[in-house]
Structure 1
Amino acid sequence: MTSSAAPPRPAGVSGRVIVALGALAAALVVAFVVAPPALTADRAGGIVDRRDLSEALRAAFVAYWRSGERDISPDLARVVDYWTRYHLVKAVLAALLLTVLVVLGTRLARVFVTAGGLGAGKRTALAAAGVLVAVLAPFSVAMVMANVQGAVAPFASLLPMLTEGVIDAELAGTLTQVERGLAESGGTGGSSSPALDVMIDDFVWYHEAMVVMAAVVAAVLIAVTVVAWRRFARTRSSDRRKRGLLAAYGLSSVLLLLPVIALTVANATTAADPAPALLAFFRGGW
């Protein structure tokens, strides 16, 4: 009489936990798209959707520019506050998604390395889940960075809405004055318009924030690359699964590092000389 036993489950790995983490990640992806507008709507201020936001921004921006004051007007401040809340919600959701994906990816890697004798169906599902996590994790990092950037410099983040779609004569005239002021500006401030100085200052902070975040991400990727290749070198050649996984970590980290370094340099360059980049944006070049 013979008996067969199922392959032992890797220590500390539960199929139910993996499924639960996958479901939570899917829910967070949906929440990232759906929840922010619902949670941050300013019904008292008439801002419920993107169209309301664009209309409120344009009217408030024209009035602010014409006021000649440095302090942001109450109407524009209401729009900026809404945009700050919107990006904060998205940043938190993206950070939660990233956390879940890291935990899920760690558990999937443990299953891949330690579980033998899996059937074809389970191997396919495991590979598909791993690929999905590998795609969503960098996306989540990018979303965290972009939304933190929008939250810390919301005024600059709103500027693209001024040039989207149909522009009426009043706004077009204001934007022409902004372009003229930027063309005459020395670069980092000291223009004849206090409002323009505020725009330039926030534009600088917008790019400096990305420089800091990109530098942190680059440092993490460098650390992951070093650790992955060191462990790869110490792993026995017979342990093909673990070596393959470590090599994948090392290679993907290097590939991700290149655009992150480029992003850091580009934003640092813009922050150092903001007026030409801001002028190019208003002229349709950014």
Structure 2
Amino acid sequence: MSSAVPARSGRVVLVLVAVAGALIAAFVVVPRLLANRTGVSFGGESDLRRAFRTAFVEYWRSGSREFTADLATVVDYWFRYHLAKAVLAAMLLAVLVVLAVRLWRAFVAAGAAGRGQRMMLAASGSVAAVLALCSLVLVLANVQGAVTPFASLLPMLLGEDSAPTEVITQVDRRLADGTRVAPLEVMIDEFARYHVAMAALAAVTAVLLLGACAILWRASVRSPDRRSRRVLAWFGTLSALFALVMVVVAVANTTNASNPVPGLAALFTNGW
């Protein structure tokens, strides 16, 4: 890469790779640390799962729409956790986009460089682009979790390890026979909001990706350089394909949001 990429540009690429690696590590470690606060600390998912299950049983038996103090604590923790992850994922997305653009520009500018160097630049640019799309998915998923932390906690009720089977059976029965109690109404509302959030996020993302696709394809047609046209067309095609995926996600989540009860019942019957 050293002869194909100018020294200064090569240093920038190395810095971007290092920053991306640091952000990936931070994405795994930091959110839990930021979500914890004085008097509220969970050592890991197993601790959180136990706390949520205990708090949910208390909330269900309260018969009230208002969260109990313990449940509110867990939900607040989960909100901060997802918010931290969403911010870190957005930062990682920005870094990976810049990295992918620089690598592909280096590929276009490689000219008469060796075939091996061009292949390395193309492969590196492709990996950065795919990782950027993965980061985008993480941004969407964690924004959704931050918008509706209670709904995103519900899958933690399930599983054989000390799952509150009696309460789960009661929830499942109420969903089946149409009997509505206050906690169940909140669950239905939050489950619908959970899907509304993703439908909106996916729709906005699809529009942005289609706009990017149009710009890239237009630039591809106008570019006088064959290698540049191929790169721009590749990115345009990738944007279009991912936009199509986002449209499917938006439609599926809109359907679930308009009729949330079957989806919620399926969660308690078969898991998420």
Q: Could you say which TM-score interval applies, normalised by the shorter chain?
A: over 0.9
Over 3 Å counting, the alpha-carbon distance change for 1:164 and 1:8 in structure 2 is closer
Structure 1: which 4+ aligned runs deviate by more than 3 Å? Answer: 6-10, 119-122
Percentage identity across paired residues of the two chains: 50
Deviates more, 1:258-267 or 1:44-53: 44-53
Whichever structure has more helix as a proportion of its residues is 2
Whether 2:244 is the aligned partner of 1:230: answer: no
Contact 2:82-2:143 at 8 Å conserved across structures: yes
Q: How does 1:148-159 map to 2 (within 5 A)?
A: 148-159=143-154
Whether 2:227 is the aligned partner of 1:246: answer: no
Contact 1:25-1:97 at 8 Å conserved across structures: yes
Question: Gaps spanning 5+ residues in structure 1: where?
Answer: 1-5, 186-190
Q: How does 1:112-151 map to 2 (within 5 A)?
A: 112-120=107-115, 122-151=117-146
Q: Which amino acid aligns with 1:230?
A: R
Aligned residues: 270
Partner residue in 2 for 1:188:
none
Contact 2:27-2:88 at 8 Å conserved across structures: yes
Q: Which amino acid aligns with 2:220?
A: F
Match of 1:69 among 47, 64, 73: 64
Q: Which amino acid aligns with 1:180?
A: R
Partner residue in 2 for 1:17:
12
Over 3 Å counting, the alpha-carbon distance change for 1:117 and 1:55 in structure 2 is same
Match of 2:168 among 160, 167, 175: 175
Q: Which amino acid aligns with 2:177?
A: E
Deviations 1:125-156 (A, max 9, x none): 32232121121011000000000000110000
Partner residue in 2 for 1:276:
262
Partner residue in 1 for 2:205:
217
Deviates more, 1:207-216 or 1:220-229: 220-229
Q: Give the Cα–Cα distance (whole angstroms) in 2 for the partners of residues 46 and 100 of structure 1.
A: 31
Contact 2:150-2:190 at 8 Å conserved across structures: yes
Q: CA deviation at 1:25?
A: 0.7
Say which SS state the counterpart of residue 44 (structure 1) adopts: coil
Deviates more, 1:106-115 or 1:217-226: 106-115
Q: Which amino acid aligns with 2:173?
A: R
Over the residues paired in the alignment, what is the CA RMSD in angstroms?
2.0
Deviations 1:32-85 (A, max 9, x none): 112222332356235221111011000000010001111000000000011111
Over 3 Å counting, the alpha-carbon distance change for 1:116 and 1:44 in structure 2 is same
Q: How does 1:51-66 map to 2 (within 5 A)?
A: 51-66=46-61
Q: Give the Cα–Cα distance (whole angstroms) in 2 for the partners of residues 130 and 8 of structure 1.
A: 13
Over 3 Å counting, the alpha-carbon distance change for 1:105 and 1:63 in structure 2 is same
Q: Give the Cα–Cα distance (whole angstroms) in 2 for the partners of residues 37 and 164 of structure 1.
A: 23
Q: CA deviation at 1:9?
A: 4.3
Deviates more, 1:41-50 or 1:141-150: 41-50
Compare CA radii of gyration and give the structure with the larger one: 1
Over 3 Å counting, the alpha-carbon distance change for 1:7 and 1:80 in structure 2 is closer
Match of 2:106 among 111, 119, 130: 111
Over 3 Å counting, the alpha-carbon distance change for 1:131 and 1:165 in structure 2 is farther
Contact 1:42-1:48 at 8 Å conserved across structures: no
Q: CA deviation at 1:184?
A: 2.8
TM-score, with structure 1 as normaliser: 0.88
Question: Gaps spanning 5+ residues in structure 2: where?
Answer: none
Q: CA deviation at 1:226?
A: 1.2
